[in-house]
Amino acid sequence: MIYLKMEDLPAFTNTPVDSIPAIHARVANKFHSHATRPIEYRQKQLRALYWGLKDEEPALLEALKLDLGKSAYEAYLAEVGWVLNDVLFMEKNLERFMKDEKPEDIDLQNMALRPRIRKDPLGAVLIIGAFNFPLQLSLGPLIGAIAAGCTAVLKPSENAPNAARIMQHIIQNSLDPDAYQVVQGGIPETTALMEQKWDKIFYTGSANVGTIIAKKAAETLTPVTLELGGRNPAFITKNADPRLAARRLLWAKLMNAGQVCVSQNYILIDEEILPAFLHHLKLALQEFHPSGAEDNPDYSHIINERQFLRLQSLLASTTGEILLGGKTNQSTLFIEPTVIRVSSPTDPLLTNESFGPLIPILPYTSLPAAIATANAIHPTPLGIYPFGSRAETDLILSQTRSGGASVNDGFFHASIPTLAFGGVGDSGHGAYRGRASFECFSHRRSVTTTPGWVEGLLAVRYPPYSEAKLRKF
């Protein structure tokens, strides 16, 4: 078999803005034809997406290498294999998810009405993706939309143009073009898309842009799912295992060079355990990158110069002390995993989302005070990572809020395909993955059917009202 190479595909081109209303009309009309509702149609599209992705595995891996320098290992684990697994799961469970649900605790007299919840598709939806995991953050929601019987337009991130090109190629060649379309571009194209009336908008990205999307959607009462950003704390108490904490949190920060919404943005650590933790952090770094991160082909680069310069100036703004790393190279967009000891909770490294391989560490002397610090920096982060005894990690969970949490680990909860993933407060709302992806694009429609034979029983509801009728209730 001759595999497609990225050079065989057309260059990344923005979709003409004036074509966007017609693209919207096309997928909206398809939805209103009701053709996307039968399970057979949805399963056919899911299978086609699976094989479209499977056939182009080499090009998908190549695209991720070009965009982010992602190693084939990471790209398969967190992107290609991840999405393939999600499609298979959805296809396998679709019939079960689509089944009507019975409500709980129905009175005997209401049973005759067969109360039930149908799972109806929301309609024609818009999915806006982010750059850091360009496949899973775009195709994950698309899988949910197809499964729910929706039609969709996908707007991948323009900052990962190769991933955007290969996704467009696969979607164009595998899926029903009247139902599923890709629009390429940045702000002007997304703004033009937002001028259309969608039945749902699924947005992944920064909180700033999320606010723009939510405001615009509110004008037409369009429901939104927002998957937003981090400033996620990790806590290491004096009873934590410093070796495990070091290895696990380092892994969580090295993946994709820290460009992960759920990775820890900073670490709060009990002063007592700091020396042991730093010792193990150094060892783990040597073990994971024996010849240094710069020469490690498995270590991703920063997505583009704009993000590189942002990270460089964020690093320059700290008053903390660099303990490990600190090297940068603009020509290769390389930023070394960098450990910084900071002395204030107002340090810019804590109050801004770094979205890069920076590991600021703030020592504390009291766990309740550390919890208060994290709550003050961001009361509703996307993830929280407490390391310590059961009582300590329970205390942290019970006195904080977050989209999700991994106890004694970095963001591993997000790797479980059937666990709903989403934020809370200003890290987003709504969730997806597994069954939640199907539900995200479905309307739970409550339905009853009143049979003719209950008319006698219903006589009490009709006027004229009387004392005698009232006594029957």
C-alpha angle 335/336/341, rounded to 5°?
110
Ranges within 160-199 binding ligand NAD (CB under 6 A): 186-187, 190-191
The sign of the torsion formed by the CA atoms of 67, 73, 78, 80 equals positive
Minimum CB separation of residue 360 from ligand NAD in Å reads 16
Residues 384, 399: contact at Cβ < 8 Å?
no
User: Which element (helix H / strand E) includes 309?
Assistant: helix 305-317
- Determine which residue in the list 27, 228, 342, 358 makes contact with ligand NAD, applying CB under 6 A: 228
Residue 209 touches ligand NAD, criterion: CB under 6 A: yes
Minimum CB separation of residue 127 from ligand NAD in Å reads 10
The sign of the torsion formed by the CA atoms of 333, 336, 339, 340 equals negative
Minimum CB separation of residue 194 from ligand NAD in Å reads 7
Residue 206 touches ligand NAD, criterion: CB under 6 A: yes
Residue 155 touches ligand NAD, criterion: CB under 6 A: yes
Residue closer to ligand NAD by CB (options 157, 338) is: 157
Number of residues forming the site for ligand NAD (CB under 6 A):
29
Q: What dihedral do alpha carbons 362, 389, 250, 159 form, nearest 10°?
A: -80
Q: Which two tokens stand for residue 83?
A: 């999405």
Residue closer to ligand NAD by CB (options 207, 460) is: 207
Minimum CB separation of residue 461 from ligand NAD in Å reads 48
* CA 232 to mean position of chain CA atoms: 15
- At 33, which amino acid appears? S
Residues 324, 287: contact at Cβ < 8 Å?
no
Q: How far apart are CA 211 and CA 170, in angstroms?
A: 31
Q: Is 227 a catalytic residue?
A: yes
Query: Which of 79, 189, 261, 392 is labelled catalytic?
Result: 261
- Determine which residue in the list 212, 276, 322, 324 makes contact with ligand NAD, applying CB under 6 A: 212
Helix extents (H) in 132-273: 136-148, 161-174, 187-194, 207-219, 242-254
Residues 242, 279: contact at Cβ < 8 Å?
yes
Residue closer to ligand NAD by CB (options 32, 306) is: 306
Residue 125 touches ligand NAD, criterion: CB under 6 A: no
Stretch that binds ligand NAD, among 9-17, 98-106, 154-162, 446-454 (CB under 6 A): 154-162
Residue closer to ligand NAD by CB (options 204, 400) is: 204
The label of the residue with tokens 């073009």 reads 177
Query: Which of 62, 91, 227, 353 is labelled catalytic?
Result: 227
- Closest by CA to 28, choosing from 222, 306, 288, 309, is 222
- Determine which residue in the list 15, 132, 225, 318 makes contact with ligand NAD, applying CB under 6 A: 132
- Determine which residue in the list 428, 429, 433, 440 makes contact with ligand NAD, applying CB under 6 A: 428
Q: Is 150 a catalytic residue?
A: no
Q: How far apart are CA 271 and CA 302, in angstroms?
A: 32
Residue 374 touches ligand NAD, criterion: CB under 6 A: no
C-alpha angle 456/462/465, rounded to 5°?
120
Residues 15, 189: contact at Cβ < 8 Å?
yes
CB atoms within 10 A of CB 445: 11
Residue 434 touches ligand NAD, criterion: CB under 6 A: no
Ranges within 377-406 binding ligand NAD (CB under 6 A): 382
Residue 438 touches ligand NAD, criterion: CB under 6 A: no
Q: Which residues are designated catalytic? A: 227, 261
Q: What residues make contact with ligand NAD under the rule CB under 6 A?
A: 128-132, 137, 155, 157-159, 186-187, 190-191, 204-206, 209, 212, 227-230, 261, 353, 355, 382, 423, 428
